[in-house]
Amino acid sequence: MLKPLRIERISIFVIVWLGQLVSILGSRLSNFAIDVWVYQRNGSVTELSFLILFTTLPLVIISPLAGVLVDRWNRRWVMILSDTGAALSTLTIALLLISEQIQIWHIFVATAVSSSFSAFQGPAYSAAITLLVPKKYLGRAAGMIEFALAIGQLLSPVLGGILLEVIQLSGIIVLDLSSFVFSVITLFLVRFPRHQATKSQETNKPSLLREAVDSFHYLTARSGLMAILFFFASNNFMVGIVQILAYPLILSFASPFQLGTILFVGGVGMVIGSILMASWGNGRQDYIKILLCFMLLNGFSLIIAGFSPSIILFGVAAFLFFLCSPFISGSAQVIFQKKSLQICREKFSPLLVLSAVLVYL
């Protein structure tokens, strides 16, 4: 009886994963097109930086409390409502583009709204994985998630460069909207197992603020978790500066199609990395060592990109950079998911710990 139940839950995960794969592809496609459109509109790095700011700031502000709320709510409905909210913001951009009334601040606001819904969708998706996938297969599930991200990274730049010329930005936004619809349909087709609350959770229901404070106290009391958290925060702060300048730098000596080609090569590396991560993720690896080794290779790839403004060098750097990404984010995700499972009997929500980290991944 137990084995068929596990198979059924894994099947649900695969269906949900497929819907998220299509959604990721649509979102990556529109993100690439919007980034290029915003930069080429006035050639302003400042406008591109503000676009990235409005994408990340809601995640940083909302995600910590989103982890607590998701733990109290139905994870499936959180994902459905999050995808629906993001779809509505995408629909708004499409209508403004079609009516030719689009302004740059419209893009900023719509991006911030979509990002706010993503702050709930990410923790809900991660929490659902721990309900659907046995603990020993969490590494492979993380690899599958990274594979979905890799497919988006692989196909979106090339398709975005072509579709921008064929169907314009408005057509790409409509494709993104269609991908959200597909994702919501897959979520309506399945049912998640109920999250079993512990006795302490049933008898002691602290306020959201108290639960958030207690969860952060749990983090600060464990130096290893805090070290990983700050390691990611500092690393991604520095890498984020490079990523903001990457598009303008490449477009200064290459065409949008060549930019898409470089990102396509990076996508190939990400696909290879995610496949390897999925095949190795059997629960017996030392994920800390894997994380640190690929972080070192990740930094080396940035050094390669800085040697010369060359399409070939940037292609090699992109391949290595994105090859490392599934191992880095996948290993970190497994570390915190396993820790989340271990502390699920505590009096406060472990999902805040997970969601706080996911902000930096």
The pLDDT score that the predictor gives to residue 322 is: 86
The pLDDT score that the predictor gives to residue 268 is: 86
State both tokens at 129.
């994985």
73 has a pLDDT exceeding 70: yes
Q: 6 pLDDT band (50/70/90 cuts)?
A: low
Q: What are the φ and ψ backbone dihedral angles of 198, each rounded to 5 degrees?
A: -80, 170
Q: Is 230 helix (H, G, I), strand (E, B) or coil?
A: helix
- The answer to whether residues 335 and 224 touch, using CB atoms and an 8 Å cutoff, is no
Q: What are the φ and ψ backbone dihedral angles of 343, each rounded to 5 degrees?
A: -105, 15
- The answer to whether residues 345 and 292 touch, using CB atoms and an 8 Å cutoff, is no
Q: What are the φ and ψ backbone dihedral angles of 194, each rounded to 5 degrees?
A: -70, 140
Q: Per-domain residue ranges for the chain?
A: 2-192+208-358
Q: 349 pLDDT band (50/70/90 cuts)?
A: very low
The pLDDT score that the predictor gives to residue 347 is: 42
Give pTM, 2 decimals. 0.68
State both tokens at 147.
């594979």
Task: Give the Cα separation of 263 and 158 in Å (integer).
Answer: 8
Section 18-46 average pLDDT: 82
> Could you write out the DSSP letters of every residue in 251-306?
HTTS-HHHHHHHHHHHHHHHHHHHHHHHHH-SS-S-HHHHHHHHHHHHHHHHHHHT
Task: Give the Cα separation of 264 and 25 in Å (integer).
Answer: 13
The pLDDT score that the predictor gives to residue 258 is: 79
At 254-302, the pLDDT tens digits run 877 778 788 888 888 888 887 787 776 555 567 778 888 888 888 888 8
Q: Which helix (H) or strand (E) holds 217?
A: helix 208-220
> Could you write out the DSSP letters of every residue in 159-212?
HHHHHHHHTHHHHHHHHHHHHHHHHHHHHHT--PPPP---HHHHH----HHHHH
Distance of CA 98 to the CA centre of its chain: 29
State both tokens at 346.
């505590």
CATH architecture label of 2-192+208-358: Up-down Bundle (1.20)
3-state helix, strand, coil in the chain (%, to 5): 85, 0, 15
232 has a pLDDT exceeding 50: yes
Closest CA to 333 of 306, 351, 309, 313: 351
Distance of CA 226 to the CA centre of its chain: 21
For 41, 122, 178, 230, the CA distances from 35, given in Å and listed in that order, are 10, 22, 20, 28
